[in-house]
Amino acid sequence: MPVPFQLDRASPMPLQRQVYEAWRTGILDGRFRAGTRLPSTRALARTYGISRITVTTAYEQLLAEGYLETRHGSGTFVSTELPDDRPLAARRSAKRAAPPPAAVRRSAYGLRLGAIIRRPAPTAPLDLSNASPDLSRFPFPLWRRLVSRHLRRASADVVGAASGPHGHSALRHEIAGYLARTRAVRCSPDQVIVVNGSQQALDLCARLLLDPGDAVAVEEPGYAGVRQLFAAHGARLHPMPVTDAGASPANVAADVRVIHVTPSHQFPTGVSMTLPRRLELLEWARVTGAVIVEDDYDSEYRYSGPPLPAMHSLGSGANVIYVGTFSNVMFYGLRLGYLVLPPALVDAFATAKWLADRNSPMLEQAALADFIAEGHLDRHVRRMRRLYKRRRDVLLEAFARHFGDAARIRGDAAGMHLSVRLPDAARVRANATRHRVHIASSESYYSGKAPANEFLVSFSAISERAIREGIRRLSL
């Protein structure tokens, strides 16, 4: 039992009185809140090595004065209504008189966090902004079976500390095989580190590759999650304008240490980086010694055009860190992602992961290894790709029907969202508010000036009917 207060055996005050005073003061200063259950007299006596009668006498006095109450059969609790106003009033006036507590001093990192804005998720009956996978289609009964299997076995690699910071070894094997099969990434399982979603992968990259003041190149427009993260680490951000060919390093300073890109399906424009642009970027990084962080967050969903291998597969892999996530192919709350690292960086990343949180939860990792090994992931991705393609087609049809050629669409060949520029943005916004449709503007993804008429439209977690109706309402 944790010790709620100290007793002083050398004090002239009797122990029974000390127990009484300790509870009473704690109740009055708010440390023991109304409804808190007290330890039993037996447990408290044992904890302090005092006689039970000492504790019982103190409890009885507190009960008699109304500081405590008993609930039949379930124990002793701090009273929900305190006995007399006097101590409370005394407490209030004491509080008023006391100087305000000194503000907690924050680190430079802590202070930089103040500039980051977290927007609450919007709610509207027709939500065209939700880029989540369709969770109603995830095979949860199957997932439950796989998790239960490992709970039943309770093997040391799952419930003990045997697996270490790199992740569950079966999962690291499966990830290496999956990437070879689907993304042409050649790596050994030893290069894979399992983390809590790609956000942690990016955080570890920032910790290990950047010092405050270092330059980092990010796509413009780009993923806010990465811009905010690098800024929080004190990095200087160099925006790389995204054209239809992808992000260009043309005007990026040569002292950039890290380049973050989403080449398969750029976030948020949705464009795919062309092969010449990928080669240009790889060559640029080779010459300058920068590290490319390839964030392949939703490449599994490609609907048209040839499948594009990962950038990682094009070079030697010596200066590319590949980052992947299960948030979009499984579900966000799983919080599992991975890094594929150049061999020379593996130990340092594993140490940083160890210091951050030891390892990602093993039960889910073991279940996920089976999910991949038994073919469920490939099957699920195939099914979802068909579903999302149908929804994307419906979205394109709806734009064509209600906006015609005036809707300028980009990034519809892959992923779970596309970007669109619409002619009369003010009317679209007014319609969205009036007809209760949520559509996301791309403004927050630009660090500079954003086009006023660009929107991101997600189609993965919304029915075909709702897509048609949503676009119709925007066009009224």
Binding site for ligand PLP (CB under 6 A): 197-199, 223, 262, 267, 295, 297, 325, 327-328, 332, 337
Task: Please tell me the distance from the alpha carbon of residue 359 to that of residue 165, in angstroms, as a whole number.
Answer: 5
Q: Cβ-count burial of 114 within 10 angstroms (0-12 exposed, 13-18 middle, 19+ buried)? A: exposed
By beta-carbon proximity to ligand PLP, the closer residue of 229 and 256 is 229
| Type of residue numbered 116 | I
- The overall longest dimension of the chain from CA atoms, in Å, is 90
Q: Between residues 68 and 323, which has the closer beta carbon with respect to ligand PLP?
A: 323
Pick between residue 284 and residue 445 the one whose CB is nearest to ligand PLP. 445
Nearer to ligand PLP by Cβ, of 163 and 327: the residue is 327
Cβ at position 197, least distance to ligand PLP in Å: 3
Output 202 or 345, the one with its CB closest to ligand PLP: 202
> What minimum distance in Å lies between the beta carbon of 305 and ligand PLP?
20
For ligand PLP, the closer of residues 146 and 226 by Cβ is 226
Closest to ligand PLP by CB, 18 vs 200, is 200
Give the nearest distance from C-beta 5 to ligand PLP in angstroms: 43
Query: Any idea what DSSP says for residue 233?
Result: T
Whether the CB-CB separation of 129 and 438 falls below 8 Å is answered with yes
What is the distance between the alpha carbons of residues 321 and 300, in angstroms, rounded to a whole number? 18
Q: How far is the CB of 269 from ligand PLP (least distance, A)?
A: 12
**Bridge partners of 291?**
258
DSSP class per residue in 53-118: HHHHHHHHHHHHHTSEEEETTTEEEE-SS-S-HHHHHHHHHHHHHSPPPPPPPPPHHHHHGGG---
Nearer to ligand PLP, 187 or 195 (CB): 195
CB 446 to ligand PLP: min, Å = 15
Least distance (Å) between residue 334 CB and ligand PLP = 9
- Give the list of residues 6+ apart from residue 183 with CB closer than 8 angstroms, or none: 296, 299, 309, 310, 312, 313
Q: Retrieve residue 229's tokens.
A: 């993260």
Question: Minimum distance from CB of 196 to ligand PLP (Å)?
Answer: 8
Q: Smallest distance, Å, CB 327 to ligand PLP?
A: 3
Q: How many CA atoms lie within 13 A of 131 on its CB side?
A: 19
Strand extents, DSSP E, 306-402:
320-325, 337-340
Q: Note if the bond before 268 is cis, omega within 30 degrees.
A: yes
Q: Among all residues, whose Cβ is closest to ligand PLP?
A: 197
**Letter for the amino acid at 80?**
T
